[in-house]
Amino acid sequence: MKHVSELLSGKFKDKPWLIVGKGPSFSKIDDLKLDKFYTFGLNHVIKKLDAFDIVHLIDFDVFESCAEDIYKKVKYLVMPINPHFGNKATEVTIKDLVEKNETLKKLSDEKRLFWYNHLKKDLFLNDKNRERLNYEDVQVKYFSAEVPFYLLGMFGIKEIYSVGIDGGSSYDNNFQTDTLLANGRTSFDIQFDEIANTIGKFDLIYSPINAQYPVKVYVGSQEEQMLSVKVLEYSIKKRTKVAVEVFPLHKADIKYGIPQNPENRQRTPFSFQRFTIPQLNNFAGKAIYVDSDMQVLKDIRQLWNLPMGGNDLLTVKQKDEANRDLQFSVMLLDCNQLKWSVNDIVAMLDSGELNYHSLMKEMRVAKNIGVKIHHSWNCLEWHKEGESALIHYTDMDTQPWVSVKNPLCKIWMQDLLAAIDSGFIEMAMVKDHVEKSWVRPSLIYQIENRILDSLKLPKEALALDKNFIAPYQRMERVKVKKDKKSADAATIFIDESVRKILKSKSYKLFLRFVPSMKRQLKEINKTAISLTEKLSHGKKQILSQIDSEKKEAIIAEILEIKKSLSEKISKLEKGMFTNLFASIGAKLKDLKRLTEQETKNITDRNI
């Protein structure tokens, strides 16, 4: 009797595996050509089929009830080193049972019995199971179905199918119910949390036999982003072995209203598009949502076939970011459960039942959210070879199609070039997008010269982007407070000329001096008021020494500059600069100099 690594390590990789359980979908077993799979059965399924490559069971009473079938029909039996009795592990080891059970002993003698460990290191540890310390533990938390996934993944087997591995609380009609949920759990749904973790950990490509195809992928998008959408679509279809349909959501003919409160309005033109997906999918089946600024690097079946486990929406838990808001930019949706209407959602925003944060950051329109998608399916501007399944180019300033500064550009370029070479993307589309200023001009040079890394583009290529302004820069959101009494925010869209100023180094430097400028303006205001009071309250002996026309000119100049500065500071606070802001510093100096000089002149004359 040996450890299961002796059985599975480096073997059984020439065809996919089929895990067979007792759930309702077991009824599909007769439709399958089992010779196309290696088979991994669970518990009593051995009684219903003629042969299995491996059968796994945890409870010894199951072995006793199936011993004859196991010996005759199964090539290999896999059990924990400390089998369960009455759904609990004990100090009794598989070696103890081999000594007492004739069938088990024959399986051991014939080298058909293998063990694994799922107990904590020191639990029931004795001389007969001490060797378990030499091997990795197999993680099993709720049901025996978790073990085949973990074992196959642990030994490098990737492609797995299943039949009879279902949620809910019932068996297929072929099986008796005396062992149904005998461990006290109320539903099989809970096993899918651990199965999903295993799929992510070992990068498994898993499909239930009754999986829905084609894969339906909906993309949050605008027409300006169609090149990145096409590269995303290519990246999915290139790596996925089943049919995939990709639909850009801006092409949907679904109209919806605008929330009354500006704070609750879309932060991007496609923020609310995701809520149209169940309707577009006829409120049936599953659907995937992704943003347009993404690239898929693995078979999307890994995401598509994640067990919903009773959830109506699955999303990604970010790596090492426990305190971060959930990211709903990658979702697996159960459209049977999600009866979304965007107009109803807008009405809830208007009534106060929802706000933008509770809608977009908490997704309160979904009742049961599962944070079960592996973090590799939303890599925010990072990539690790072999781990990253989806790169999310979240920084708009450095997205590869609008900037040459993204260090991951070469990964995106590989798919772009391959898509062009295959005819999936036409070069005419790229040129059209460049002409419309939707993508950077240097992209054409990069394609024609087959340069993957944009950081290595020559100066002549970089010069092509000198006057390029990305679409988001021409329609930038600037969020400001209306006034001190109101918490309402206004969304202001500024044109590209102002946006260019706001992105400049001069603007950023200027912002550093805004507090100082305000203080100076306050002091100047005080001086101007004081001067005006002196001029208006009977200092006739002084005023008589100043030519009346000059006096009026001075006052008018002071008031005009004061008014101009006040307007510009007001515009500064509202985020609406024009290219005149560079002259403010000079006007401040002039005003201060004029005020100080006239104050000195008046004081000197008074003396």
For residue 314, which phi and psi values (nearest 5 degrees)?
-115, 140
Identify the pLDDT of residue 74: 96
Helices 505-512/514-536 angle, 10° precision: 60
Same domain, 41 and 169: yes
Same domain, 337 and 414: no
Tell how far CA 456 is from the center of its chain: 29
Q: Read off the pLDDT band of 181 (50, 70, 90).
A: confident
Same domain, 244 and 375: yes
Same domain, 373 and 283: yes
Residue 283 near residue 336 (C-beta atoms within 8 A) = yes
- pLDDT above 70 for 24: yes
Buried b (16+ CB within 10 A) or exposed e, 93-109: bbebbbeebebbeebbe
Total domains present in the chain: 5
The C-alpha atoms of residue 228 and residue 392 are separated, in whole angstroms, by 12
Higher-confidence residue of 31 and 495: namely 31
pTM: 0.70
End-to-end CA distance of the chain: 113
Give Cα separations from 238 to 245, 408, 415, 497, 523 (angstroms): 13, 19, 9, 40, 66
411-435 pLDDT tens trace: 999 999 999 999 999 999 999 999 9
- pLDDT above 60 for 599: no
The mean pLDDT value for 106-128 works out to 88
Same domain, 8 and 154: yes
Rg (CA), the chain: 35
The H-or-E segment that residue 552 falls in is helix 548-573
Same domain, 279 and 420: no
As a whole number, the mean pLDDT across the chain is 84
Q: Which residues pair with 114 in a beta bridge?
A: 2, 78
The mean pLDDT value for 74-83 works out to 94
The mean pLDDT value for 360-384 works out to 94
Range of the domain at 327: 215-392
The C-alpha atoms of residue 320 and residue 465 are separated, in whole angstroms, by 36
538-570 pLDDT tens trace: 445 444 555 555 666 666 776 776 676 666 555
Same domain, 283 and 151: no
26-43 pLDDT tens trace: 999 999 999 999 999 999
The mean pLDDT value for 71-98 works out to 93
Identify the pLDDT of residue 108: 96
Same domain, 201 and 254: no
Q: Read off the pLDDT band of 127 (50, 70, 90).
A: confident
Identify the pLDDT of residue 261: 94
Same domain, 129 and 167: yes
Same domain, 122 and 241: no
CB atoms within 10 A of CB 152: 26
Same domain, 499 and 511: no
Q: 194-208, 395-409, 499-513, 546-560: lowest mean pLDDT where?
A: 499-513
CATH number, domain of 256, equals: 3.90.550.10
Same domain, 353 and 237: yes
CA neighbor of 202 nearest in space, from 148, 248, 126, 128: 148
